[in-house]
Structure 1
Amino acid sequence: MVALAEQVSHALDQVLDPHFKVGLNDMGMVTDIDLKDNGQVELGMRCPCIGCPAWKMMQHNVKSKVSEIDGIESVKIRVDWEKPWTRDDMSEAARSKAQSHGYVI
């Protein structure tokens, strides 16, 4: 299961936030990866903002990318509203990339 969780995490690194062009893990949007024995994975994710125009696209891209992994039968995304996403959740690499594109972080 650990290897499968690492594969899921790696897949999430390849799904980019469309604004910053940074993987969702580095963006701090992924809160947890819960693998079930039946091949189902439930991902906890934080939406960057209410009404985010790219949110549905990001969810689609996550499901598509994670579903490519052998052993994954289904992908469910749970939105974590308890702790809203903030720029403080971004990794240092994500901050640097955003700043290099002119964003003030």
Structure 2
Amino acid sequence: SRDWLAALEAAGVPCGPINDMKTVFEDSQVRHRGLQVDIPHPAGVDVPTVASPMRFSETPVEYDRPPPLLGQHTREVLTAVLGKTDAELDALAARGVI
């Protein structure tokens, strides 16, 4: 990743790394600005998410719903987009595909 960034920057290509959530939350600027927000999820866990970097004195950002858990909407999406049946989804789940 560093090699690609260096090569692209040397060529004048605007770029930046694509970070996973762990790397994002370890970033000193993210920690300094308090950009990690842990939102309670109905499943009983707190889901870490990145806060808005913008701060408005009269209209603060409200975090009223958590991001989905990994796989939380898989069945709904595969049914709505691909028309998969419950039986097909069960078979995919049994094979570890979803």
- Where on the TM-score scale, by shorter chain, does this alignment land: which range? under 0.3
Determine which structure has the larger strand proportion and give its number. 1
Structure possessing the higher radius of gyration over alpha carbons: 2
Q: TM-score, normalised by structure 1?
A: 0.24
By relative contact order (CA 8 Å, sep 6+), the higher-ranking structure is 1
